Chain A
Amino acid sequence: MLAIQLAITGLQTGALYALTAVGFSLIFGSTRIFHFAHGATFVIAAYLFYWVYGTGWGLVPGVLAATLGAVLFGLVLDRLVYVPIQRHEGSFFTVFVASFGVGIAVQNVIGMIFGRGFTSVSTPLSRSAEIIPGVYVSPLAWIAMLCTALLLGALHFFLRRTHTGTALRALADDPELVRTFGLNPRRIAATAFVVGSALVVPAAIITSATTGLNPTIGHHVMLISLAATIVGGIGSISGTMLAGLLLGLAESLALLVVDSQWTEAVTFAILFAFIIIRPSGLLGRIAAH
């Protein structure tokens, strides 16, 4: 029974990892910007939801505020930080350091506004119920898995069946070619930031009710996103999604064989294993073709 319970817990965790990681992977894969502040996007969305929902405005305004905040943050960061840096120098590491700095600044500003302690959204949906003897699942776990399936399905459709999606994939392959076709790479990159930032919103909202929030939570989000992007194969959305699920499941199921203090190490053991044995990741090679 413990194995089933841990598998379900792992699926819920993995679903949230997949959503956040796919957002990062989409931005990184399309623009080659190491958007370390993706974790800050998560924090902003989560705290905005916590604030709007907590002050009694209700679920829909909370979701809208979180989405608006996340998307605006992504767009503003792209426009005011990444674009000027790339225009003047274009160094990968300069962009990374700037993004890292923004992440730290956001963490501190959130701490000043909302306090540095623990907060959470209180909802009966986070309370587990026994579905079969010894196995407990909360309504939020089902919502997390459903949300992930729907959103990633929609993303797949967007990338494969729309002109903008095709342009995004083309940008990842060859920005010059995109320009040749008369498209504006900066505008397409901005779309990547909009979609990538919006994808973290459901995970941020669900996390605010399950794990709870503190201003430093973005670091963990970023580490998992990075690990899933590498394990899945850089540039492969499907690979990142699978890797997110795999990491969540592995982290949870690892409790069957190792002590709980080693579960985070399991994530990075998988990462190292892929770097050594299959550097292109789960679906990286397929995506390259």
Chain B
Amino acid sequence: MTKVFTIMGALAACVCYTMPAAAADHTVGALFPLSGPNAVYGDVFMAGSDLAVEHINADHMLSGPMAIAYEDSQGLPQPAVVGMTKLVNVTGVPYTLSAFTGVSKAISTLAMRNSVIAVNGGGVGPDLADLGDYFWNVIPLANLEVRAAVPYLVDTLGLKKIALIYVDDPLGQALKDELETEMPKAGGELVDSFSVPTSAQQFSGVAAQVRATGADAVYVASYGNQQLQIVKQLRDNGVDAQIATYSGYAVPDALALPESEGMIITGQSVDFSREDPVTKRFVHDFKAKYDRDPTAYNVNYYNATLLYGILAAALEADGTAITGEALLAKRRATKSFDLVGGTVSFQDNGTLLFPIEVKQIKGGRAEAVTSVSFN
């Protein structure tokens, strides 16, 4: 019997330890990939959101402490819906962070039905702009990235024929559609496209097909470990053409891969040298806490979390209860927000606009070669 009580006590202690959010007055949710092949993103996203919570609590922005209840989406729609259901019905959050296009689309109906705000800072599928009033994006979507990349590849680098390798999910399909639209406009041609399943790890055959197309460049539209495997196997299997991709590649593992050298990637432009207090504090504290330079993903989830702090503080000042409806109304009533990267405003569809940078990977770092503004 003593043994049973000891085990139950230990279990209870574990449960208490893993539920710090329950003790907070302000709990928001987050659906991040914390396991599986996309878990590398979860660490990156959490670095930004955790720092924002530290800042919000240190500044006593809210009437009580704030915490994030993390649920593991694995970067897949089905576990994400399970996690979102728990966040909405059990934890009772009014605001949640989301990532990945497929995940975001899957949870958006739950967000809408339950009037819970879902904020995406990592998925870039263009149709994320149309998921309703309760779904916001603090990241520019991939249609803008393709619109920035294509003219650079075709006009500046003279690479007229592009082949596409895309993951068979909403993100990959959206990037394919965008390339099919943008390539002819720029005077180029999408010579062929190859879809790969999300679980595929072997791409030597696809590399042979890409080589056979004679393309000047290959656009890779995947994410997680798979995109690194594609790039490595393309190079190992004799594909010397220029490789281009989108912001999903901007993770430390990918940049450090020797085969990534010379790749073109796009992503939102964030001026980390700005002197405004929000950006300055973020950059300083991020480097101090994690001993590395921040990336755009860190910024996005910092901003998404800080956004809750700003809106909730304003609602508390008004004496209004913090609900999804109230947060949406307050965001619409607020003209602009001071976030990392400057003062920004939401478009009517709930998406923030940032300029897009075209970068080239050199020595493990992405160096900007040009910037395109869409304002």
- Write the residues of chain A forming the contact surface with B, with a CB cutoff of 8 angstroms: 1-2, 5-6, 9-10, 12-13, 108, 111, 115-120, 122, 126-130, 134, 136, 138, 210-212, 214, 216-217, 220, 251-252, 255, 259-261, 263-264
Q: Are A136 and B225 in contact (CB under 8 A)?
A: no
In the bound assembly, the distance between CA atoms of A128 and B203 in angstroms comes to 14
Q: Are A118 and B225 in contact (CB under 8 A)?
A: yes
In the bound assembly, the distance between CA atoms of A212 and B230 in angstroms comes to 10
Report if A260-B229 is in contact (Cβ < 8 Å); known contacts: A9-B204, A251-B202.
no
Q: Are B233 and A210 in contact (CB under 8 A)?
A: yes
Among B236, B251, B258: residue with most chain A CB under 10 A: B236
Report if A263-B200 is in contact (Cβ < 8 Å); known contacts: A2-B209, A6-B208.
yes
Report if A260-B37 is in contact (Cβ < 8 Å); known contacts: A210-B233, A217-B201.
no
Q: Are B253 and A117 in contact (CB under 8 A)?
A: yes
The listed residue (A111, A127, A251) touching B236 by CB distance below 8 A is A127
Q: Hey, which chain A residues are within 8 Å of B236, CB to CB?
A: 126-128, 138, 210
Q: Are B225 and A214 in contact (CB under 8 A)?
A: yes
Interface status of B14 (Cβ within 8 A of chain A): no
Interface status of B205 (Cβ within 8 A of chain A): yes
The listed residue (A5, A13, A116, A119) touching B39 by CB distance below 8 A is A116
The listed residue (A2, A117, A210, A212) touching B212 by CB distance below 8 A is A2
Interface status of B180 (Cβ within 8 A of chain A): no
In the bound assembly, the distance between CA atoms of A255 and B210 in angstroms comes to 12
In the bound assembly, the distance between CA atoms of A251 and B210 in angstroms comes to 17
In the bound assembly, the distance between CA atoms of A172 and B258 in angstroms comes to 47
Interface status of B196 (Cβ within 8 A of chain A): yes
Interface status of B343 (Cβ within 8 A of chain A): no
Residue pairs across A and B with CB atoms within 8 Å: the count is 106
Q: Are A13 and B225 in contact (CB under 8 A)?
A: no
Nearest-neighbour CB distance to chain A for B187, whole angstroms, equals 28
Interface status of B184 (Cβ within 8 A of chain A): no
In the bound assembly, the distance between CA atoms of A261 and B196 in angstroms comes to 4
Q: Hey, which chain B residues are within 8 Å of A216, CB to CB?
A: 36-37
In the bound assembly, the distance between CA atoms of A115 and B201 in angstroms comes to 18
Report if A12-B204 is in contact (Cβ < 8 Å); known contacts: A117-B253, A261-B196, A264-B197.
yes
Q: Hey, which chain B residues are within 8 Å of A136, CB to CB?
A: 208, 211, 237-238
Interface status of B365 (Cβ within 8 A of chain A): no
Q: Hey, which chain B residues are within 8 Å of A217, CB to CB?
A: 201
Report if A211-B253 is in contact (Cβ < 8 Å); known contacts: A255-B209, A260-B194.
no
Q: Are B208 and A212 in contact (CB under 8 A)?
A: no
Q: Are A252 and B195 in contact (CB under 8 A)?
A: no
Q: Are A128 and B199 in contact (CB under 8 A)?
A: no
Q: Are A220 and B40 in contact (CB under 8 A)?
A: no
Nearest-neighbour CB distance to chain B for A143, whole angstroms, equals 14
Q: Are A220 and B201 in contact (CB under 8 A)?
A: yes
With A136-B211, A214-B37, A264-B197 given, can you name 20 additional A-B contacts, CB distance below 8 Å? A9-B208, A111-B35, A115-B40, A116-B35, A117-B39, A118-B40, A118-B257, A126-B236, A136-B237, A210-B204, A211-B229, A217-B201, A255-B209, A260-B194, A260-B209, A261-B196, A261-B197, A263-B200, A263-B202, A264-B200
